[in-house]
Structure formats: structure tokens, C-alpha cells
Structure 1
């Protein structure tokens, strides 16, 4: 039943009903994983002894901030890591990744990306784009790359050939980014880590885990990864964290990263929280459930647009390693109409009409639909894409499935009203 305020064509409503029938077993599987992960998170809170006193604000140097210390502990337990560094002053996932890279790499080291070219915003960090100022390249850190196979999967044979004892870091991007290659499951990451450790026992296996947290029952740090990082305005912030990021993994590596974030010798021991602890704790607690809602929204979107003949990846019933759903819309005007329709289903700024624009860190115009309580929060319903072939929309998030499903239907309605959708 669609609320009367939303004028959605009956043909789209019928297609949505068929989509819901098709994904019923998928939704059950998502619920099972969410149930497990939510229990895991609750266990992390209980075993860490979280109390109201941990929500108190600290100022200045933040010495003795018990909430900061326990928050790190909760995330470490929930993510299956020895330690974690969780801070509101990570300004983005790219920032957390950058701190991790600079925290453990030194001049003369070699970083080997085994999942092809990293996400757009990290290329400037490495020194692949831009003027190189402040990049890893400027600090004498070498970058090498193993391309993915034509089907977008890791080239395990090539990885085995390229990893030698001279490689300091094997870098893995879990999510597809703005590509159509499959995202990686923890089992894939474990296989890469095993190869890497056989060839270079002392190398650091690092994972960009953005969009992947709580999608499966385990995280990369439970499957051979030494270090991983991500953003709190994606999965692990549960739609509550207003900003921030995390680094998790081996205790010694997390400590090195903390020296990069603050100063050598002080590391995790300083950094006031300014009253942000409560929201970060609450966001962590909600994270498994909200991630499940985003996965349901993704599965429904895939099923709905499959009904209209569009190629989607992943397929509606395909296992998922992250929350991202790509819909191949084939035409620029279809992509724009899709994103503008998603915006109409947002709780914030629904009256805004997204238009393509030049966004820092990208090599072409990008359109973004994101009516969010937190600016740029990818765990809230959003859809974005660079305006280039194959004109695919990358949709992610959904704080709850009820509104997320409606957002996908409004995207279809927007296309139908412009004569683009063949319903």
C-alpha cells in the first residue's frame, strides 16, 4: 500500500509487488545475518562495560577520556580486531585510509594494490593524480598494481607472482567504487592474504573496508587482514554518527596509525571528544541493523529495475559483499532522472533537484542524490554516478527499508514521467 501523498503509477506498484515476491528468500537471509551481527554488537557493548559515564565530554588534550578508550574497544570487538582507532575528527573514509597508509608505510616501501586502480579520491593520496604535493609518492613510497581479470575478479596467479619480500603492503579495495566489478567477500580477502603471507610473511595486508562492514558475519580482520579502515557515515556509524572514521586491526599497526593522527609518543592517549561519544556509541549499536536495511533496499532496487529490463549488479538474488547496488541505465538522461527521483524520496531536501557538477577528486561531472540528515552519509539513501559510460547509477543506503523501497520506486516514477522507462 502506497501512501496517497506519493503519486506512483500503478504499473510501477505492480512491478514492485512482483519484486517483493521474488526477493522474499533474500530478505530472510539478510535478516539472519543482521540478527547475528546485532547480537555480536550487543555482546561487544556488554563485555566492554559501556555506561552513561562514557558519554561525558572531554576538552583540551582529552587525557583520561574513558569513553574514547571504551569506544575503541567496542569497535575492535565487533570488527574482530585486536585494536581500533575510532575518532570523530576523521573527516572522511579517505582520511582514515590516508592516516593508515602514512601510519605504517615509510620512504622506500612499496605498496601493491591487488584490486586494480583504487577509488578516485585515493589516487591523489598515492600520487597517481594531482600535483603530488603531500602524497605517498612525494615521500618516496612506491606504488605498484595488479589489475583485475576481465570479469572483475582478483587475478590470484598474478598476485602470487608480484608479491615478493620487498613488498611492504598488499592493498585491497573491497567495494567496487565507481566500477562494475564484483565487490569482495571476506573469503576472497582471506585467499589474497594467504597468498601474500606465503610470499612475503612480513607484509601488511590492508583493506579499504568502506561499504562492507556488517554485510557478512565476519570482517576482513578475522580473515587474514592486518589493517582496515572506513567511514562512520557509512555502515559502521549506523546513520547516527555525524562524522568520523575508524582504523582497526593489529594492535601495533593501530598504534602506529595513532601516531600519525596525533603525535609519536602520545598516539591514542590524547584527543578530546567534545561530547561526540554518545552519538558514536549509539551509531555503532545501530550499525548492524541499519546495514541490513540498506541491503534490503539494494536487493529490492535490483529486483524492481530488473522488472523493467535493466541490467543490475549484483542481481537481486546474488550474494552481496557491500551495500552498493548498480543499475545500468544506458543513457545520460535516464541516469539524471533516476537520481532526481531518488532525491524526491529523501526526508531532507526532497524539494531539491540534483544536477551534474564538477566535484573535487573526480575526473568528470558527478550527479548525487542525497537528502540526508548527515551531509554525504552513504548509509542514508543516496544515488550517485559520474556522467560517463555506462551511465550506471550507484545506489546505496537506506536508514529503513520502508523509505528505501519507496525511494527506488520514485526513481522509476521520475523516469516514467520523462518517457524513459518502459513500464
Structure 2
């Protein structure tokens, strides 16, 4: 019935039915993985002995917060790690990453990214010179990034050449960020960790795990990463976390990150949880289901956009390691129309019309569509992209697969409606 509300409803229905037939086998694969993760989480909650009293939050200094301690034990158990921090005080994935990097690196040491330059938002965290900004560079910490090969693989000869005596932390970004390269699977990250251990045995291996949680059977900490970090308003918050982030890994390095995040000496012992704990417990428990819904939506988006003539990666029939769906639109007007369509299909601020604008941490104007219940929550349906060739849209999230479907069809309808020439071309 919903197709009657679209201007190009007949065409959209045709494309949608084709897409749903193509992705049907993959949907069951996602459902099986959701069941696998749900069992693991349930076991962790039961083994930790969660009770009603653990859901009560602390105030003030937050000392002896048994609910926080039990939840972090659950997170460490599920992620196959020695220790975890899961805190409302972490404002974003960038903040969690920064706490890790500042925690483990010291003046005179060096950070080496082996998966190419990281997200644009880390540019100012890394810095370029000692200019008083408080960046890594301002503390005399060096930085290198080794570009990937044209095939999107780690360039190991270049990595070996880049490693120096002062190389202390070797970093891996799991997701693609604002680039065209594919995201890395946990298996591939495990292979990277093994090679890094041979080339630089004393280095700390850090993984930016944003967008990847619960997409595969394992996390990077299961395959040897020393430290991983991410945001709770992405996958692991299950759509209920209002803010926060997590840091997981070997206890020594988690403690170092806690020293930076909170204070030396206090470490993980302090930090009130206010009224957040119930949402954190429930959101983390729901995360596998919510991630599964977002993945189903991503499969549909890939298949229906391919039916409409657009190239997407990963394709609906390819393995996935994160939530992000890249769409090559090749035209700034298409990118703007697509994001405006996603905004129009949002439950919050649907009447607003997003336009490209400067964003802190990004070099180019960015258009962002995110009518979300939690500001900036990437586990909720959103789309964005920098206004630079080849004009790529990055679609992610969706609390329900049905919402993703409606959002993508609305975006397609808007592209067709606002460009008669585009409509004629696609209808052929």
C-alpha cells in the first residue's frame, strides 16, 4: 500500500520486489548470526549474575558502582578481552580513540596507521606540529600512515619500511570511513595482527572498531588486538544508549586509556553513571537484533539501488563486516537529493532540508541526513557524504529493516522527482 504515496510508485515497487527476491537467502544468514550473538549475550548476562540492583546508577564520584562494574565485565566477556570501559562520559568514537592513543603513546614515540589515513575527525587529534592545540603532535608524538595498495590491501613492504624504533602503536581502521576502499573483516584484521607481531613485536595493536560490532561472529579483540574502541550510539548501544563509548582490550592498555579518560590513580574506579545504566544494559542486550535489522536494510538498499542503476559496495551478495553502505552517485545534485530523501523519511525533523555545510574535523562541506531520536546516532538510519568527487553517499543504520526500506525508496523517489532527465534515464 505504501507505494501509492510515492510519485514513482510503480517503478519503485518493481525495483523493490526484484531486490527482495535477490536478498532473501542472505536474510536468513543474518538471522542466524543474530541468534548466535543473542545466545552469547544471554550467557554473559546470566554468568555475571545481573539483577535489578545492577540497573541502579551512581552519582558523585561513582566509586563502588556495582552496576557499572558488572556491565563492563559483560562487555569484556562478550568481546573476548581482559578488561573494558563502557562510559557515558565518552562523547563519541573519536573521543574513545583519542583516549586510547593518548593513553598508550608517549613523547618521542610514533603512531603508525597501516590501513591508510584514518577518519577525517582524527586529523586534529593527530595534529601536524607543536602548536599548542593539545594534539599528539603537540606532545612530540610522531605519526605515519601507509596507503593501501590499489587492490585495497595492506602494503606490507611499505609497512615494514615505515616501522622505526620509535613505532609504539600500530593502528587499524576496520571501517572504510569516507573512502572507497572496502571495510576489513575480522579474519583480515587477525592476519594483520599476526604480521605486525612478527615485524614489530613490542608494538600495541589498536583497532578502531566503529560500525563493526556484532556484524561478524568475532571482534578484533578475539583475534589478538591489544585495544579496540567504539561508540555506544553506533552498534553496541542497540539504539537505546543516549551517549557514550567503550574501550576494550588487555587490562594494561585499558588502564592506560582510563588514566587519560579519567585520571591517573583513579582509573576505572571513578565515574558516575547517573541514569544511564538501565539503557546501557538493555541496549547492549538488544544490539545483535538491532544490528541485524540494519544489515537487512543495507542488503535491501544495495539491491534496490543496483536495480535503479547505481553501483554500491559492498554488493548485496558480498560478505559484510560493518553497517556502512557506499553508493556511487557521481553527481553532487544526486548526493544532495538522496540525503534529503533520507531526512524526509525520518521520524524526527523530517520537515528539515539538509544542505552541505562545513563540519568540524572535515576538509570538505558535508551533507548529513539524520532525523534520529539520539543526536548523531549512526545505529539509527542516516546518510551523509562529503561534497567532493565522485560524490559518494554513505548510508548506515536503521532500527528496523522496514524503516531502511522506506527511507531508501523515499530517497530514490526524490532523485527521480527533482531531476526529470534522471527520471527518464532510470526508467529506461
Q: TM-score scaled to structure 2, two decimals?
A: 0.96
RMSD: 1.5
Contact 2:380 2:397 in 1 (8 A): yes
Task: Give the aligned partner of residue 168 of structure 1.
Answer: 168
Change in Cα spacing, 1:14 to 1:34, as seen in structure 2 (3 Å) is same
Contact 2:104 2:256 in 1 (8 A): yes
Task: Give the aligned partner of residue 323 of structure 1.
Answer: 323
1:60-85 CA distances to partner (integer Å, 9 max, x unpaired)? 11111101111111111111111100
CA distance in 2, matches of 1:227, 1:57: 27
1:3-31 CA distances to partner (integer Å, 9 max, x unpaired)? 76566511011100100000111111111
Task: Give the aligned partner of residue 191 of structure 2.
Answer: 191
Residue 363 of structure 1 deviates from its aligned partner by: 0.9
CA distance in 1, matches of 2:32, 2:20: 18
CA distance in 2, matches of 1:216, 1:377: 21
Q: Where do residues 152-163 of structure 1 align in structure 2 (5 Å cutoff)?
A: 152-163=152-163
CA distance in 1, matches of 2:360, 2:103: 25
Task: Give the aligned partner of residue 358 of structure 1.
Answer: 358
Q: Where do residues 10-409 of structure 1 align in structure 2 (5 Å cutoff)?
A: 10-128=10-128, 133-163=133-163, 166-409=166-409
Contact 1:109 1:142 in 2 (8 A): yes
1:232-267 CA distances to partner (integer Å, 9 max, x unpaired)? 000011111000000000011111111111111110
CA distance in 1, matches of 2:30, 2:132: 43
Contact 2:3 2:10 in 1 (8 A): no
CA distance in 1, matches of 2:49, 2:161: 47
Deviates more, 1:383-392 or 1:42-51: 42-51
1:142-186 CA distances to partner (integer Å, 9 max, x unpaired)? 111211011222223433443355421110011000111010001
Where structure 2 has 5 or more consecutive residues not aligned to the other structure, the ranges are: none
1:346-399 CA distances to partner (integer Å, 9 max, x unpaired)? 111111111111111111111111110000000000000011111110000000
Residue 206 of structure 1 deviates from its aligned partner by: 0.2
Q: TM-score scaled to structure 1, two decimals?
A: 0.97
Contact 1:123 1:129 in 2 (8 A): no
CA distance in 1, matches of 2:131, 2:384: 27
1:311-362 CA distances to partner (integer Å, 9 max, x unpaired)? 1111111111110001111111111110111112111111111111111111
Deviates more, 1:202-211 or 1:40-49: 40-49
Contact 2:300 2:405 in 1 (8 A): yes
CA distance in 2, matches of 1:154, 1:10: 45
Contact 2:213 2:236 in 1 (8 A): yes
Change in Cα spacing, 1:272 to 1:372, as seen in structure 2 (3 Å) is same
Where structure 1 has 5 or more consecutive residues not aligned to the other structure, the ranges are: none
Contact 2:131 2:138 in 1 (8 A): no
Secondary structure at 1:38 match in 2: helix
Secondary structure at 2:99 match in 1: helix
Equivalent pairs counted in the alignment come to 423
